[in-house]
Amino acid sequence: MTGRLQRARPGSPELQALVDELAERLGRSVAVDDPLVRMVCTSRHFGDEDPVRIATLLQGRADNAAIRYVLDQGVTQWSRPGFIDGRDDLGLLPRYIVPLRERGHLLGLLVVVVPEKTLEERETTAITRAAHAMAAQMYGERIAADTRKSDERDLALALVGADAAARTTAHRRGRELGLLGAAEHVLVTVVQLNSGTELVRQSEAALWAALEGYRQTRSAQGLIAIGKERASLLQLRDRPPHPDEVAAQSAHILDELRTFLDSSADPVIGVGGRHAGLHEAWTSYEQALVAARAARRLPSLNGIGDWESLGELAVLLQLPEHALNASLVPKPLRTLAEAHGGDRLRDTLRCFLEHAGSIPKTAETLGIHRTSLYYRLRQIQKITGLDLDDGAHRLALHLGLRVGELLDAGAGRAV
């Protein structure tokens, strides 16, 4: 595993006692995991430990490959207990897994190591009774945790909302509760999932798990707001974060989500601008939404959009979806695309404009002689009717090319 180590919250003493009691009765290693297969509490070994269990105890959670394997068995949607096969390549022995549910909510997974994949009736009876007690205990703990998360969500959403008065009130309330420190550099990160791809509770749990390690760090204090298909992380820092730090944080969040959720969730991340002052959190949030839209539209971003790297795309992506269409591409560019050799000429134009009209750099990048480049540029001017020495004409062509890229990349993708 790379990046920050994410651990589930440790179980309560009451839950730990139930796990230890069951383990002693069975003479088998027992654990309770959360719905994301992160260890909550575990018993002692009974000579049946495997590399996955040992690594989990040492690191606080199994590695991503083991977690993904267990989730791929569909255990979070099981309606009854069952076995999962072992995997020698992962160092995993077979396990008997019981979904822990209370009032329709999946609270966790009771996991018993069973190398022989068979249990006596007395064992399954003991496991069933223990599972009921564990689910009841976890449900009470969940209610308290959900209340805290809900309060934090409301505060975070108020701080990034459009209502200035509500932002001021939330700022004061956050300081009073000690949830917001004195640091003034603010950064908001938004995570978005495809709609309708996972059970809502599983998606919310995955979003929280991916972000919670960044609420309180050495360099940042933050708040999290979790919704059905979107989450926001508001961070306050003593100094502006280094770009490499932000990139590593985003990459790790994305990696965690891809571990916890099915590929259909297709998560993307948008990073807002870095601002001085909590009162600018709403600005960073709006920018993060634009950056997430870029990440969804442009595969080249590999699922992560950063406002401060978007350039002119930051302006174009603030257009409403219905307005972002082919009509924004200037007619001269459409004429160029339809001309003989249009693709080659369009690529030449793009390279020329991206190198600020430098003939040497453009020719070198394209791998052609300058004479050939001059010939192509004359063709472009003749077909488009525009003067490449005119700044306004260059701007119109460059923006048109960028719009075309957005349209090509966004075709067939959810935005």
**CA neighbours closer than 13 Å in the CB half-sphere of residue 379:** 19
Residues 103 and 166 in one domain: no
Q: What is the pLDDT of residue 320?
A: 85
In this structure, is residue 45 part of a structural domain?
Answer: yes
Q: Which domain holds residue 330?
A: 321-410
- CATH number of residue 182's parent domain: 3.30.70.1130
176 and 290 housed in the same domain: yes
The verdict on 181 and 221 lying in the same domain is yes
Residues 44 and 130 in one domain: yes
pLDDT score for 220: 85
Question: Is the same domain home to 118 and 53?
Answer: yes
Positive/negative CA dihedral, 218, 183, 280, 274: negative
**Which pLDDT value is given to residue 72?**
95
Residue 404 in any domain: the answer is yes
What's the pTM? 0.77
CATH classification of the domain holding 22? 3.30.450.40
CATH assignment of the domain containing 400: 1.10.10.2840
Same domain, 127 and 95: yes
Q: Is 27 part of a structural domain of the chain?
A: yes
Q: Is residue 6 part of a domain?
A: no
Number of domains observed in the structure of the chain? 3
The parts of the chain modelled with pLDDT lower than 50 are 1-7, 412-415
pLDDT at 8: 53
Do residues 94 and 198 share a domain? no
